[in-house]
Amino acid sequence: MGLWMRVFARSEETPDPVELAEKVAEWLPGATCHFGADDSGWFRLEIRPPAGGPIQVDRYHCEEEGVRRDLNTWAAWVETCDYCQDAPILMERIIQSRQFITVMRSLDTPDETGVDRLCDNLCGLLASRLDGMWQVDGQGLKSADGSLLLQEY
């Protein structure tokens, strides 16, 4: 089990694996990146911190089976957040997603601060590059710069 984060991206652009690997090395020295790819580009990244469990990053295109259903579930959740005046706009942004990226951080790590910072920076970078926003379980939806858009209760 781990902590989940999700990036809802309106761009179809493939994130640059070289840039991601360089940023990971900058944000958490000693961490390594291992990419998996198919004909449409990378779809899996495993980040191995110097100690502790891995960080798993999976990239899904919205045309893939089940992905649109997952996005609709997230949009429906946002729709229920009537305490947020921007909920309709945020719901629409999720519906407009062209790709969906999940980040699962293992809870088995001795450097929680460094790994948390890495995951936050990674989600922010992906949201920035891909015209998106991101979500953290227990926190809510965030803009690319990390500003809270919708508090999760």
pLDDT of residue 8: 98
Structurally, the chain folds into a number of domains equal to 1
Residue spans of beta strands (DSSP E) within 49-131 = 55-61, 99-106
Residue 121, domain extent: 2-151
- The residue type found at 18 is V
Q: What is the pLDDT of residues 103-134, one digit of tens each?
A: 999 887 766 788 999 999 999 999 999 999 99
β-sheet bridge partners, residue 47:
33, 55
91, 75 contact by CB (below 8 A): yes
Whether the per-residue pLDDT at 1 is higher than 60: the answer is no
pTM: 0.93
44, 58 contact by CB (below 8 A): yes
